Amino acid sequence: MRETLHTALRKTAGAAPRISIERILHPRSLAVFGASDSKAKFGGRIIHHLVRHGFAGDIYPINLHRPEIVGRKAYPSIAAVPSAPDVAILAVPVSTLVQNLNEAAAAGVGCCVIISTGFAEAGDEGSSRQSELVEIAARTGMRIVGPNCMGIIVPHHHMTLCSSVVLETDKLRDGSIGLISQSGALMVSIFDRANDDGIGFRHCVSLGNQVDLEICDFIEYMAGDEQTSAICTYVEGLLDGPRFRRAAAACRAAGKPLFMVKTGRTEAGVRSARSHTASLAGSFESFAAICREEGVVLAQDPDDMVRAAHLLSLHRGCRAGGVAVLSTSGGGAGIASDRVTEIGLELATLTPETRERLGEILLPPQADNPVDLGGRKMPESTEIAGLATEILFGDARVGYGLGVLTSMPFFAVRSKLIGEAALASGKPCILVLTPGAAANTSRQILRDMGQFHVDRFEDALRVLSLIDTHLRLKEAALPAPIRPAGLPVAAPSPAAGSLTESEAKRMLAAYGLAVAREAVAETPDGAAQKAQEIGFPVVLKAVSRDIAHKSDVGAVSVGLASGEAVRKAAADMLVRLASSAPGARIEGFSIQEMVRGEAEVIIGVNNDPQFGPIVMVGLGGIAVEILHDVALAPAPLCMTRARAMIERLRSMPLLQGARGRPPLDIDAVADALVRLSWLAADLGPQLVDLEVNPLIVRKRGEGAVAVDGRGTIATT
């Protein structure tokens, strides 16, 4: 909503942006509102950090009462500054913020970074105040980062527009990773932890409430920045779903991994996101489907995200493959191997040549993956750690290396040899140093040589899993879906409101889905007559726009073998529904052929408010609500994507023919998904939701039939 309001205001005012993202991140001049000599104050820390880290451009301290700040001429107001600065940062009381912002706009400032809080995240009064910031930006073209943010850090430009104490360091570690965060405190914590890991950033941007510049502005910039190799983001809510998809696609086209930690996965996370930056978190399941489609890797932990981005930045040409485990302990090798398999990664199957070479220095049980260096053939005086690592990690079938280093003789020397061989492999390799203080020398050695290491199995495994996910998503990129032949030229125009089953199935049939034959009658006698025309046995259902799940309230009778049985079932159904669904309007009865098959599947579509129609498939009937075994993807689909959705289901073996059951017609299910997806794409926001439950699936080659359906059409 805020992004839409801002766009509308800017178009009305006709104010073009004063400054580019490039200049905001690499300004020639800065103004600091609230500048102070005291590092106990926000403005004092900001100007102290800028001076300490050597920002080379002009710095204009703004302080009404002081002629000089940290040895630099101060100015009583932004209007008194000799030339308009590219960027100003404001850490001032919220009561004076709007006035200061207007003064900055009048003085020609290109962009204001607002650290001050007390806006939409603080309730209705703050929201009203925030709308004033939106209006100023739209009217003048001055860009705004924030409010409620921590600022911007650009190490290679020596720019520290940030008040955090983590900048009390002698040197900013440069790097090639871009970091964009809606949380300022989290951004600087990630920055500090990464520094301990030996990881540097190219840009770090805190966005806060995103009243003007938002996450997509910076993703788009970093996607086009030649010096940025990977992008990490922390997101609470997106302002523009389609723009995010385009930005993610730009990252994929540029070959840049895009990682994201997203809150709003649970109801608790949604509440937290709203209270923190007043962001609206949409359906996480739909969001995850969009990310998978566009190659965005979702992480659960910010440090894992940055570590994975770092390793991919070091190994840009790596490809997905199996994991090779090397340890100085049989126990370490065993635990690591179990956990690699349990999290869904594969242990690499070594080539015969690799096993032969390992067999020259290791006993037969250890001359394979995983490698236990303790099972050596040679005497302790002959060092094999580096050679074994070189042979193992160099195998053509190995995609990633995992070294688990436990306490051992000559720890520092062997750690160095293993680290050098891991680096020489040219593959993403992580060494786990399991001892405590005894491994500190080794930690420093590895840090100095640039070999990445952690202290726990689980940290390493999560990072390898993220890398593997990125590489697999990268390899799974699909071309744009092509509209199947024979679909209607124009989308249907159903009436607004809930669709009856018959109305839903007519729409499905128009798009080529097979549906059960049916007839509709208003009375029990009419139902009996229609059943004769359909042919026995039949299924009887109540027709009602007010009942979503007919079986739950007794609105379905199956296996009816005569007209009298249909008449009685219909009369009994009316009595039953009077108590089980009081107030539900019963429009009549649907009499349908009895469709038999081998399995029930649910397919459906829901219109996500940010991303449009999202298609779903899962095990059907009541199982979908119990097992929650579903897969989602944005519409429209191609057959390859539809099959991939089905293959992600845990229940896929049931469709393939488990335990002697016949294989089912998975292609028919995929075809139904594709056709449903194009129906949804054609209707767009007009279609709120549409569901087929169940889709009866028959044996391979025999098709799938929709036997029930429901949907909702939006009101204008």
Q: Which residue from 183, 219, 186 is spatially nearest to 295, judged by alpha carbons?
A: 219
- Shared domain check, 631 and 606: yes
CB atoms < 10 A from the CB of 550, how many?
A: 20
User: In the chain, which residues have pLDDT < 50?
Assistant: 1-13, 273-282
Flag whether 464 is in a domain: no
Q: What's the rounded Cα separation, in Å, for the pair 548 and 607?
A: 18
Verify that 74 and 185 share a domain, yes or no: yes
Pairing mode, strands 143-145 and 111-114 = parallel
578: in domain: yes
User: What are the backbone dihedrals phi and psi of residue 87, each rounded to the nearest 5 degrees, phi first?
Assistant: -135, 140
- Which of 593, 612, 641 lies at the terminal end of a domain, its last residue? 593
Q: Are residues 615 and 697 in the same domain?
A: yes
Find how far residue 336's CA is from the centre of its chain: 27
Domain membership flag for residue 126: yes
Torsion (CA) 680, 686, 692, 698 in degrees, nearest 10: -20
Strands in 568-611 per DSSP E? 588-593, 599-608
Same domain, 63 and 193: yes
pTM higher than the cut 0.85: yes
Give the pLDDT confidence score for residue 508 in this predicted structure.
96
Residue 658: give its domain's CATH number. 3.30.470.20
Using only C-alpha atoms, what is the Rg of the chain? Answer: 31
Same domain, 617 and 701: yes
- Whole-number pLDDT of residue 430: 97
Whichever domain contains 561, its CATH number is: 3.30.1490.20
Is residue 199 in a domain?
yes
pLDDT of residue 269: 53
Contact 697, 598 (CB under 8 A): yes
Q: Is the peptide bond before 370 cis (omega within 30 degrees of 0)?
A: yes
Q: What is the pLDDT of residue 658?
A: 76
User: Which of 457, 488, 508 delimits the end of a domain?
Assistant: 457
Residues 67 and 173 in one domain: yes
Check whether residue 580 and residue 661 sit in a common domain.
no
Q: Does residue 692 lie in a domain region? A: yes
Classify the phi-psi angles of 527: left when phi > 0, otherwise alpha if psi is within -120 to 50, otherwise beta: alpha
Exposed, middle or buried by CB within 10 Å (0-12, 13-18, 19+), for 485?
A: exposed
pLDDT tens for each residue of 332-361:
999 999 999 999 999 999 999 999 999 999
Q: Are residues 55 and 117 in the same domain?
A: yes
Q: Report whether 106 contacts 59 (CB < 8 A).
A: no
One domain for residues 63 and 7: yes
Amino acid 479: pLDDT: 78
Domain tally for the chain? 4
My answer on whether 286 and 335 are in the same domain is: no
Backbone angles phi, psi at 68, to 5 degrees: -145, 140
Whole domain around residue 395: which residue ranges? 323-457
Same domain membership, residue 188 and residue 173: yes
Tens digit of pLDDT for each residue in 512-525?
Answer: 999 999 999 999 99
What CATH code is carried by the domain that includes residue 384?
3.40.50.261
Read off the tokens for 604: 């459906």
In a domain, 484, yes or no: no
The position carrying tokens 């905001």 is 24
Which residue reads 């090397």 in tokens?
326
Cα–Cα dist 480/487, whole Å: 17
Residue 367 belongs to some domain of the structure: yes
| 274 is a domain residue | yes
Whole-number Å distance between alpha carbons of 591 and 585: 18
Q: Is the peptide bond before 636 cis (omega within 30 degrees of 0)?
A: yes
* Same domain flag for 589 and 603: no
